[in-house]
Amino acid sequence: MVTNSAACVFASMLLSPVMAIVLGVRNLSRQCLIGLAH
């Protein structure tokens, strides 16, 4: 049980910056597409 929760915390710590980077890249690319379209 303890190892499972620790693994969950570790996975969330690893995934949160990855998700932030992915969202940032998507937002940035969307802004670039909007800038190119206009």
- Where do the domains of the chain lie? 1-38
Amino acid at position 14, single letter? L
Residue 24 scores a pLDDT above 90: yes
Q: Which residues contact 13 (CB under 8 A, 6 or more apart)?
A: none
Integer CA distances (angstroms), 10 to 3, 15, 19, 29, 36, in order: 10, 9, 14, 29, 39
The pLDDT tens digits for 2-23 are 678 988 999 999 999 999 999 9
Residue 38 scores a pLDDT above 80: no
Higher pLDDT, 38 or 17: 17
Q: How far apart are CA 36 and CA 38, in angstroms?
A: 6
